[in-house]
Structure 1
């Protein structure tokens, strides 16, 4: 039996702990009082502006509208309270009984699965905190709840909650949800409709009647039973609501402006401000973006005109200003409401032949010129590991003769590309890709020449932008400035001085070679790859198309805009319809022509480069007697010397037996 002294010591210890707890609670409440009322401007949606300062939309979309409690059907408020916080009007922001029960259950389970958040706490979380379940966030949530309850009425808190809670499908607030699900304002909801909506915020995907009617109905019935048990409704009301057949809105929601762009801008703003996306979305911020609304509309229209909305086919596109990195247009998919997954940024797909320009830049660094010839023929490559690699050209067509680099690019010859990749070597190829800003993992294999390592649309489009601007590194961005609700500037983008990462002369020469896909002078054993859209183009562009069994790409640029388009199926379904493989080029051509402002695209030629008429077949100089002629560009001292039309051609072949050409021919003659 414990002595009296020991018992007194225990009592003192317990009393001390209780006093410390009371003192701690008083200190918390005193601190909350001294800090004053938390700012409720955070309940406002972020507002987006385009590059002209015009409002695009707010982060809740056009359907969002703040409504007072008087304009919400009472049954919707009652249903929300009974399922989310039945003692809302009886506590001071924290329900200590629920907290104690939740703490014990979470301690036993070793998780944070069971919550005890009151409506005040949830409102605080919506306004100021991230949705991540951590102990620190829970403590912050409780402190904000105390401050809210201390300075605002229950009605103000409840009204704020009802207008900011998320109901899924892009609907924030009861008014937006009521219109989205039932096509009516919140003050016209029936008991059955109100109880159905009240169940959704617990899990907007799991309990949405549009996603899982069984889950939603079970939760609705739970809510109605609790309303009956709490004598909020009668037996007759309960029975009528249970049996009411709900008619969900069948109309397609109004398409929000630049939805994919806005989502990405929110992510960028959140990263800049070091906040959660939801905090920025609900924080009343003014986000001034790089969006060109005209370009955005044209890109969306081009995709919609080309791809049947009933098809499962998806498309993504992005436009970047090469000189600055501004993202001026973005499409992440065909229908944002069906899928908000941004395929322009988050998806990685095999780029096919659109990856070849990176290879050919490396080739220019290692002695190639526009006139370098290699034989295009069916070839089986014996690799260093003893394996065999046998690529093929589209439809099995080959020149069965030497072709120039200019023709190889324009016709997208795969044999020429693989031979070049083997000559360049995997390390130099991948190093060149890094210069272009490619950060995705690349496999050092010969097939990399044919684009077998996956990259994103934004990544490859930005790589082409470095060619368009003469070889400078720029970083794509969407946010120009961020201000708070009062107009105070929180961030302003500082233009970066683009570091030269590519040789200016080689970037220009490669650009001129990439204009060849639209130049039918380069037709050979097959047509140039841009022949099917050439009649749509009235200006000069550089670019490259690419196809795999599952992907269709077109990436190209003018001096002022770089645009990449991808088309394919999300499930990597094979594109068996030949027409589908051309959709990316059609979208790209349609869009680029619509945004082309003056019709006078000119790529500036740097010093140290010469242009002269060249026979695209032989790669030798051309004059009036040659069958074909195209202006080709070379670094001074590497241009061809002989002509295509007489016996000087053979003599010329011997005279230019230099490292930039002869070594290549001899190397391939020995190996293949």
Structure 2
């Protein structure tokens, strides 16, 4: 007897030690979770499967409908808060009925025991399995309070099929979170875990069994809660339950993008900035646009809609059809790197304004120019000659843009793009001056962010996709507010596509500041627009990179841009100036020469207004219009003004490269007369402007093949003043030949470093250095 007591005491001590020393187990955190994505209005976009192909979504107990918790306890374990995790009396009754009397199989699992079974996937149909379940339940109650165990049960309990946990069940069956369940819905879900196969709400037989079990629970509920008797009628109404196969699959590219971005985090309930209504509107517009233009080879498009004030992304359409494998529909065009064509040009102009190189009316040259081995051309392979910065940007001329990029200096346009967060950038030397023409690949997200910075006064802010704003970084200033406004003020004058011009002229119509882009080889057509509070970007193309001459920004992407803006931005007469507080901007409207954009000299006949940044914009007096003395007897230019013999007449002195374009275009200008024969060369040299050597370029090293005479030719070319007829070239002070302005003189090179000098026929000169190196 004494020995037996000792054995019993030892067993008790061991059991107590085991209970006290048992490790703290993880609960539902041991299982992978789904993610639920909601739009800005709380509408479910998608519920993803967990890694084990189950729908499982953790929900804290305090975010569950209290009546659901009460009904679950009432139905599953009414003494849950009174027993220590195992109900010994219930277990004894069940053991007697099942194994001794063999009358029927009786269950006695408490909620803690069910959590143990679910957590460790136990097989409890045998005595060893049941004992393992009991020990695990005691382990849970050793380390967790009752509320935490109840929370784990409601997050692990089966609710039919591959659905586990009350949050996933509530979202799938009733399209609402667990804290918004009605009493009929709460009682319905409370009875499912006890027999999830036969009470599966998604099957016909299961739903009938489920209603019977719920009605039985309702009778017990009303006896315990008589105050709810007035709700009895609601239980007679048909219960609408959604089948899991009808779960929403909205904004697929957006959800996939965000799901990939959030992979490292534990975020499971994701409230996004997306507006489902706008998303569906844009999707419909994309489908209609593609259908209308399918005969032209337009089969795919992508669109991004951004609220530029809050930087909240409102719609993301990554392709025309997510499920169309023929167009690689699951590729997200808004995150793919593509050539933007000319869509980056506005930022070159804005930077040039900030650096004091130009203002909107500045005269620019749309004329042929060679930069080392790069000779840019225009889309139409024509040249307009003198053109204002305003018109050069609107008309998307390549030559003025590359000239501005060349003048930006350090850190240059590549440095600007790097500061703007454009990814995968190579060194500036890799792109050269093709950078502003689409030589770099960007994503639509990056491009839209840049245009939003333009609309936000030059301040770059992160695009927000999460409603809580935690994905926003600190803003960075890329451009001045003044240059940003002047650039947008130019873009607003870009005429809309032909199909939308009548609507754009309507009373109350919004202004749209927009720019197009067409990549090399007609692979990508772009249109990006700012209107009221929105920035919208449109891309048309093929994900396999196949070109199509129909892929032109203005005609392929522009109409879709204006359709999206018409649908999303109601006409309220918005203008670019509407959101600008001019009292805080360092801007003035100044008179400039209408022809040159420079400050008007006393001989400029016509002026116009231009935006001007005091202390920054260039201050140059117009030099095209000049008054010269003309001999009244001979009509030739005099060396000096002699009243009575000469009179002052105003002529336009255009540089030779622009004069050449005028002549090609058939434009006849009145040339200034030649000097009189009595004018000495030193007298002529004091008037006008000296030549400007464009080839060879200063600092350029020419690498040539020493074995081939034909490849040893170096072109000498210079831009001369409007009164020059002949240019004379010298190498190391030796005369090598003459050429008309605008035409090259070909010089046969030899190895070495040379001083190249040009003198015009009035004695004005310029020089540069040329280095030639032989290669084999």
Q: Name whichever structure is richer in strand by fraction.
A: 2
Offset at residue 557 of structure 1 (A): 1.1
Paired residues for 1:290-301 under 5 Å = 290-301=273-284
Residue deviations 1:5-62, cap 9 Å, x none? Answer: xxxxxxxxxxxxxxxxxxxx99997533xx6x53899877615031xx342434259x
SS at match of 1:262: helix
Residue deviations 1:425-450, cap 9 Å, x none? Answer: 57411122234343341452121120
SS at match of 1:395: coil
SS at match of 2:291: coil
2:486 — aligned with what? 509
Q: Which moved more, 1:353-362 or 1:462-471?
A: 353-362
1:455 — aligned with what? 442
Paired residues for 1:340-489 under 5 Å = 341=330, 343-366=332-355, 367-379=357-369, 381-383=370-372, 388-399=373-384, 401-425=385-409, 427-442=411-426, 444=428, 445-481=432-468
Q: Which moved more, 1:587-596 or 1:337-346?
A: 337-346
| Whole-Å separation in 2 of the counterparts to 1:595 and 1:150 | 47
SS at match of 1:552: strand
Residue 289 of structure 2 is aligned to residue 306 of structure 1: yes
| Whole-Å separation in 2 of the counterparts to 1:563 and 1:382 | 35
Contact persistence 2:354–2:479 (CA under 8 A): no
Q: 1:570 to 1:58 in 2, by over 3 A?
A: closer
SS at match of 1:470: coil
Q: Name whichever structure is richer in helix by fraction.
A: 1
Offset at residue 589 of structure 1 (A): 1.1
Offset at residue 335 of structure 1 (A): 1.4
Offset at residue 356 of structure 1 (A): 1.1
What is the TM-score when the length of structure 2 is the normalising length?
A: 0.49
Paired residues for 1:555-570 under 5 Å = 555-570=528-543
Which has the greater radius of gyration?
2
Residue deviations 1:563-617, cap 9 Å, x none? Answer: 2111110100112336787221111111112222322223314532123577776
| Whole-Å separation in 2 of the counterparts to 1:463 and 1:408 | 20
Residue in structure 2 matching 1:326, options 300, 306, 312: 312
Q: 1:652 to 1:343 in 2, by over 3 A?
A: farther
Q: 1:645 to 1:346 in 2, by over 3 A?
A: same
Contact persistence 2:320–2:329 (CA under 8 A): no
| Whole-Å separation in 2 of the counterparts to 1:596 and 1:649 | 51
Q: 1:442 to 1:565 in 2, by over 3 A?
A: farther
- How much is the aligned-residue C-alpha RMSD, in angstroms? 5.2
Offset at residue 501 of structure 1 (A): 3.2
Contact persistence 1:359–1:421 (CA under 8 A): yes
| Whole-Å separation in 2 of the counterparts to 1:473 and 1:263 | 25
Higher relative contact order (CA 8 A, sep 6+): 1
Residue in structure 1 matching 2:302, options 309, 316, 338: 316
Q: 1:629 to 1:337 in 2, by over 3 A?
A: farther
| Whole-Å separation in 1 of the counterparts to 2:551 and 2:453 | 31
| Whole-Å separation in 1 of the counterparts to 2:335 and 2:523 | 17
Residue 53 of structure 2 is aligned to residue 59 of structure 1: no
Which consecutive unaligned segments of at least 5 residues does structure 2 have? 1-17, 57-116, 124-148, 166-170, 174-200, 206-244, 628-648, 656-687, 698-716, 718-776
Q: Which moved more, 1:261-270 or 1:318-327?
A: 261-270
Residue deviations 1:235-277, cap 9 Å, x none? Answer: xxxxxxxxxxxxxxxxx99984333233334445555xx23xx
Q: 1:373 to 1:645 in 2, by over 3 A?
A: closer
1:245 — aligned with what? none
Offset at residue 453 of structure 1 (A): 0.9
Offset at residue 652 of structure 1 (A): 11
SS at match of 2:445: helix
Offset at residue 458 of structure 1 (A): 0.5
Contact persistence 1:536–1:590 (CA under 8 A): no
Offset at residue 465 of structure 1 (A): 0.8
Residue deviations 1:129-167, cap 9 Å, x none? Answer: xxxxxxxxxxxxxxxxxxxx99999xx8676662379xx
Q: 1:28 to 1:289 in 2, by over 3 A?
A: farther
SS at match of 1:460: helix
| Whole-Å separation in 2 of the counterparts to 1:620 and 1:577 | 39
SS at match of 2:364: strand
Q: 1:582 to 1:651 in 2, by over 3 A?
A: closer
Contact persistence 1:43–1:160 (CA under 8 A): no
Q: Which moved more, 1:560-569 or 1:455-464?
A: 560-569
1:601 — aligned with what? 575
1:337 — aligned with what? 323
Contact persistence 1:358–1:436 (CA under 8 A): no
Contact persistence 2:523–2:542 (CA under 8 A): yes
| Whole-Å separation in 2 of the counterparts to 1:474 and 1:361 | 18
Q: 1:590 to 1:620 in 2, by over 3 A?
A: farther
Residue 528 of structure 2 is aligned to residue 550 of structure 1: no
Residue in structure 2 matching 1:258, options 226, 251, 261: 251
Contact persistence 2:341–2:438 (CA under 8 A): yes
Q: 1:390 to 1:302 in 2, by over 3 A?
A: same
Q: 1:363 to 1:670 in 2, by over 3 A?
A: farther
Contact persistence 1:330–1:344 (CA under 8 A): no
Residue deviations 1:296-336, cap 9 Å, x none? Answer: 23322321221129777321121223333211221111112
Residue in structure 1 matching 2:39, options 49, 53, 71: 49
Offset at residue 420 of structure 1 (A): 2.3
Contact persistence 2:323–2:330 (CA under 8 A): no
- How many positions carry a matched residue from both structures? 452
Q: 1:580 to 1:558 in 2, by over 3 A?
A: closer
Q: 1:578 to 1:430 in 2, by over 3 A?
A: closer
1:22 — aligned with what? none
| Whole-Å separation in 2 of the counterparts to 1:642 and 1:530 | 35
Offset at residue 368 of structure 1 (A): 1.9
Offset at residue 516 of structure 1 (A): 3.2
What is the TM-score when the length of structure 1 is the normalising length?
A: 0.55
SS at match of 1:324: coil
